[in-house]
């Protein structure tokens, strides 16, 4: 009897230990989420390190999040803070509120090979004044003050919130993530859509139309791959990258679609449609996403045979 009880306790222990582990994991997850809730009366600390000698007229910053050290000066990152930042210097406030990073002017963002990050560059300081001061507003309710004391154009002391950082010109800043930016997103994929008509507007992809196109001969050529047309008018198939014949209710017409493409970093992407009748068309498109104040913005552009068509729609209407 004792042996049976001991065996039961052994199995019970094996069940209890994983359960405790699961509860502990859940508890840790909750704490992980809570750490983004920064109390209003708690100062957001900025970690400072520095390197690199730059022109005496410049001061530069990398800005990375504390959790993963990922670049927060990256328009392709959901944690991008470029549009949030403003710098006040000599009574004037400077911002970079653009779809792409600026590469000129007093306040600019450029890529730095040493750090493999983008850097925020303040270019236009005046060593002749001996003492310079500027304020950085991060756009999340926090501000930092930078003071520079010049001995000469090459030698200076930088004070970040009164902390002596020495004679450095590149400051590596680590900041917490704005909790408003830490969200989960789901994005639709896109296809390039072709409608093909005759001069009277008749649908040439419809086999019932006089002088219709032989769709069996249509192919797409993309990245050294050949895509034959798949008839998707009769069944719902998985939406992998492919060339499809579909009936589109919105256009009351048959259409050729090529996709799907996720809205990531497609720039000047191109493919060719061979219509099987001795003619072909080259399509070039952009499809990528930038982030502005925690929100994604999908950027598109569509060209047909080097002619710009649209930055809104991926629809191409051809007349044959």
Residues 174 and 110 in one domain: yes
What confidence category does residue 299 fall into, taking pLDDT thresholds of 50, 70 and 90?
Answer: very high
In a domain, 26, yes or no: no
In a domain, 24, yes or no: no
Percentage of the chain exceeding pLDDT 70: 78
Structural contact between residues 263 and 190, judged by C-beta atoms closer than 8 angstroms: yes
Residues 175 and 269 in one domain: no
Residues 113 and 211 in one domain: no
Residues 160 and 97 in one domain: yes
In a domain, 152, yes or no: yes
pLDDT, tens digit, for every residue of 46-88?
Answer: 444 444 445 557 888 889 888 888 899 998 888 899 989 999 9
Query: Where is the domain boundary, 148, 163, 181?
Result: 181
Residues 115 and 232 in one domain: no
Residues 128 and 158 in one domain: yes
Give first-to-last CA distance, the chain, whole Å: 90
Query: Where is the domain boundary, 164, 181, 198?
Result: 181
Lowest mean pLDDT among 21-30, 272-281, 298-307: 21-30
State residue 130's pLDDT score.
85
Residues 118 and 215 in one domain: no
Structure tokens at 22: 């699961």
- Chain centroid to CA 11: 50
Residues 61 and 158 in one domain: yes
Residues 128 and 97 in one domain: yes
Examine the pLDDT at 306 and tell me if it is beyond 60: yes
Residues 200 and 170 in one domain: no
Lowest mean pLDDT among 26-40, 84-98, 122-136, 215-229: 26-40
In a domain, 25, yes or no: no
In a domain, 140, yes or no: yes
In a domain, 101, yes or no: yes
Q: Specify the pTM.
A: 0.68
Residues 194 and 311 in one domain: yes
The total of structural domains in the chain comes to: 2
Residues 66 and 112 in one domain: yes
pLDDT, tens digit, for every residue of 126-171?
Answer: 888 889 999 999 988 889 999 999 887 777 888 998 888 888 788 8
State residue 237's pLDDT score.
54
Query: Where is the domain boundary, 181, 204, 237?
Result: 181
pLDDT, tens digit, for every residue of 247-265?
Answer: 999 999 999 999 999 998 8
In a domain, 55, yes or no: yes
Domain that holds residue 195: 190-319
What confidence category does residue 39 fall into, taking pLDDT thresholds of 50, 70 and 90?
Answer: very low
Examine the pLDDT at 115 and tell me if it is beyond 60: yes
* Cis amide leading into 260 (omega within 30): yes
Over range 2-24, report the average pLDDT.
38
Separation in Å, CA 319 to CA 16, 41, 196, 248, 301: 71, 65, 6, 18, 21
């Amino acid at each position: 009897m004792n042996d049976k009880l001991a065996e039961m306790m052994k199995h019970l222990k094996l069940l209890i230990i994983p359960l405790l582990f699961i509860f502990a994991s859940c508890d840790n997850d909750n704490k992980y989420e809570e750490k983004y809730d920064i109390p209003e009366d708690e100062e957001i600390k900025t970690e400072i390190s520095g390197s690199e000698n730059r022109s005496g007229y410049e001061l530069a910053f990398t800005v990375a999040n504390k959790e993963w050290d990922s670049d927060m000066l990256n328009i392709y990152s959901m944690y991008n803070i470029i549009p949030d930042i403003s710098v006040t210097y000599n009574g004037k406030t400077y911002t970079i509120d653009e779809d792409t990073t600026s590469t000129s002017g007093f306040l600019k963002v450029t890529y730095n090979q040493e750090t493999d990050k983008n850097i925020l560059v303040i270019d236009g300081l005046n060593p002749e004044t001996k003492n310079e001061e500027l304020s950085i507003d991060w756009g999340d309710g926090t501000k930092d003050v930078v003071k520079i004391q010049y001995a000469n154009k090459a030698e200076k002391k930088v004070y970040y919130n009164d902390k002596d950082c020495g004679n450095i010109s590149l400051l590596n800043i680590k900041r917490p993530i704005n909790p408003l930016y830490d969200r989960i997103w789901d994005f639709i994929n896109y296809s390039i859509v072709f409608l093909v008509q005759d001069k009277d507007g008749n649908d040439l992809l419809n086999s019932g139309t006089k002088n219709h196109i032989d769709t069996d001969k249509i192919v797409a050529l993309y990245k050294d791959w050949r895509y034959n047309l798949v008839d998707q008018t009769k069944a719902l198939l998985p939406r992998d990258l492919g060339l499809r014949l579909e009936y589109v209710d919105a256009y009351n017409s048959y259409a050729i679609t090529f996709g799907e493409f996720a809205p990531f970093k497609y720039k000047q992407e191109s493919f060719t449609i061979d219509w099987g009748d001795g003619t072909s068309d080259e399509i070039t498109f952009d499809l990528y996403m930038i982030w502005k104040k925690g929100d994604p913005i999908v950027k598109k552009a569509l060209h047909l045979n080097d002619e710009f068509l649209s930055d809104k729609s991926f629809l191409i209407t051809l007349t044959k």
